[in-house]
Amino acid sequence: MSTPPFRLASAISRAASIRGDGVALVDGARRYTWRQHADRVARLAAGFRALGLEPGDRISILAESGHAYIEAYHAALWVGGVLAPVNSRFAPPEMAEMLADATPRLLIADAAHAGLAAELAAGMEQPAELLDIAEDSPRSLEALIAAHAPMPDAGHGGEDPACIFYTGGTTGRAKGVVLTHAGLATNALNVSSALGFSAEMVHLHCGPLFHLGAGARVYATTLFAGTHIVLPRFDAAEVLRTIARERVTTAVVVPAMVTAMLEVPDFAAHDVSSLRMLSYGAAPMPQALIEALLARLPGVGLAQSYGQTELSPVATMLLPRDHIAGSPLLRSAGQTVPNVELRIADAQDSPLPAGEVGEVQVRGPTVMQGYWNRPEETAQALRGGWMHTGDAGYLDARGYLFLVDRIKDMIVSGGENVYCAEVENALHDHPAVLECTVFGIPHERWGEAVHAIVVTRPGAEATEAALIAHCRTRIAGYKCPKTIEVRAEPLPRSGTGKVQKGALRAPWWQSASRRVN
């Protein structure tokens, strides 16, 4: 007799059963118990079904984080749909490309994005049904909840897709990473013991829910019947106030958030005594910042997570026991989590011994199902049964992973992935640009900053400010160069004609111990 597949939606039913009167979700003045939340989710799912949503259809949402975002996460699971969030930091052309790829049946938007969402929906080859979050609208989620009786869980799980998160593409277009019920549940279980997940957890969602770094915690908190506290956006002072007010026990942040929190003038005046675990990831944390955090939050466990969207997302963790001031392990990304295999391999995919640098490769149940609509790129990324991360690193004798560079042409700035090809494509659209190259340079706050070198056409002129302004019309602000060197002489190239980016990048990193910050 086969074992029934794990269903993420069943976690909602379980939470309502064991913690029916416990707080499930807090969004400002809104507070729902698990019984109320489960009822709202089942009614919203019925509303989605009434609008024609079929199992496997995509549901997209373009909004700030809030109760409706988490309800959409859960209703998608309940009805058998696939959540495909829209990165609200994308420029409109990038959003249009993403929606054209995902082809959602439904597109949900808040008031701040309603006009843009309407334009995007109208521009789709098969326009999405547009819904909004405003309570007084006949096309709102609240209207659907009020108009429909709860439907039963549709029963999807196991290797069925649960969501598609879009991540930057090396070809200049975002790729949809398809993640399954089983993979996301396994990820939550993999990290649960290290992070203290339980029904008593009060988790603060302060990062954008269109990112899997924040989204994975929606699934995990629900799996353990904890409490979701959600903020519309990150604000360092409000995070500290919320921790004190709601007695938050766990949160996940990126290094730039940590810097902002430590810089709040009255940091010491906030009661953060409820906080038990602060995990960080999305970008490497400078050791000095880790040690500052250890000093300011001596009673809080720190845990670093390394992974990527394609891994649901965690592959390794540096646990609280390893967070000791002055320890060389603070430069490490930690050890492999349970249920995940990790190896270092050479260019021929042959495993390398401890101490030798190669590509980080991962396999296990958390690895993505593939890239949406991209079979060739999926096959390349998963060749040999291993996810090729594009990161370079080495393992020490105890299995601690140390990252040294990225094989893929990518920059991580403030926890956001920026692929150089996307920025270079935007710069090349400027009439004065003859050629250009983009790479990351060290930045104290953001880890890396996007830097460009631009060669102008003969007789043409372009200032740094004008080029940055041009980029802002084509790509998200966080992807735009922070600095641009404009020159007339050609870029150095190899014998095969490729720009020698390594030589251009090297002077910026010559004093650094690793080439990712």
Q: Are residues 479 and 340 located together in one domain of the fold?
A: no
CA pair distance 369, 477, nearest whole angstrom: 30
Query: Cis before residue 313, ω within 30 degrees of 0?
Result: yes
Select from 355, 370, 394 the last residue of a domain: 394
Give the global pTM. Answer: 0.86
User: How many Å apart are CA 237 and CA 76, to the nearest integer?
Assistant: 33
The one-digit pLDDT tens for each residue of the chain (517 residues) are 566 688 999 999 999 999 999 999 999 999 999 999 999 999 999 999 999 999 999 999 999 999 999 999 999 999 999 999 999 989 899 999 999 999 999 999 999 999 999 999 999 999 999 999 977 788 899 999 999 999 999 999 999 999 999 986 444 578 999 999 999 999 999 999 889 899 999 999 999 999 999 999 999 999 999 999 999 999 999 999 999 999 999 999 988 889 889 989 999 999 999 999 999 987 667 788 888 899 999 989 999 999 999 999 999 999 999 999 999 999 899 999 999 999 999 999 999 999 999 999 999 999 999 999 999 999 999 999 999 999 989 999 999 999 887 777 778 888 887 888 789 889 988 999 988 999 999 988 888 999 999 999 888 999 999 999 999 999 999 999 999 999 989 898 765 567 888 889 889 888 765 555 4
What's the CA gap between 455 and 12, in Å, rounded?
56
> Which of 394, 419, 434 is a domain's end point?
394
Q: Which two tokens stand for residue 280?
A: 């960080």
Identify whether residues 70 and 127 lie together within a single domain: yes
User: Measuring CA to CA, which residue among 227, 268, 284, 219 is closest to residue 250?
Assistant: 227
The verdict on 198 and 61 lying in the same domain is yes
Domain-embedded: residue 179: yes
Q: From CA 392, how far away is CA 382, in angstroms rounded?
A: 17
Q: Confirm whether 1 is domain-assigned.
A: no
**Tell me, what's the pLDDT at 413?**
86
Same domain (yes/no): 425, 339: no
- 466 and 346 in a common domain: no
Spatial contact of 142 and 135, defined as CB atoms under 8 Å apart: yes
Please give the Cα distance from 215 to 209 (Å, whole number).
5
Q: How many domains does the chain have?
A: 2
The DSSP letter of residue 140 is: B
Alpha helices in 279-355 (DSSP H): 287-296
What integer pLDDT is reported at residue 3 of this predicted model? 67
- Residue closest to 432 by CA, chosen among 479, 464, 477: 464
On whether both 302 and 439 belong to a single domain, the answer is no
91 shares a domain with 208: yes
Domain for residue 514, yes or no? no
Residue 118 in tokens: 């309407």
Looking at the fold, whether 360 and 415 belong to one and the same domain comes out as no
Name the CA dihedral angle for 71, 76, 77, 81, rounded to a multiple of 10 degrees: 180
**Within a domain: 402:** no
- Supply the pLDDT for residue 444: 83
Range of the domain at 438: 410-509
The reported pLDDT for the residue numbered 405 is 72
- In a domain? residue 400: no
Q: Are residues 290 and 389 in the same domain?
A: yes
Query: Which segments within 367-482 are labelled E, that is strand?
Result: 370-371, 387-395, 401-406, 410-413, 416-419, 433-443, 447-456
Q: List C-alpha distances in Å: 466 to 77, 90, 248, 436.
A: 45, 20, 44, 15
Distance (Å, whole) CA 23 – CA 381: 41
Look up tokens 């770094």; give the residue: 213
Tokens of residue 443, six digits: 């930045």
Q: What is the pLDDT of residue 517?
A: 47
> Is 403 inside a domain boundary?
no
Question: Which domain-ending residue is among 361, 394, 427?
Answer: 394
Could you tell me if 388 and 439 lie in one domain?
Answer: no
Q: Is residue 199 part of a domain?
A: yes
Calpha distance 428→471 (Å, rounded): 10
Q: Which amino acid is at 148?
A: H
Do 333 and 201 fall within a single domain? yes
* pLDDT at residue 170 in the model: 43
Kind of pairing, strands 58-62 and 106-109? parallel
CATH number at residue 278: 3.40.50.12780
- Within a domain: 311: yes
Q: Which helix (H) or strand (E) holds 278?
A: strand 277-280
283 and 152 co-located in one domain? yes
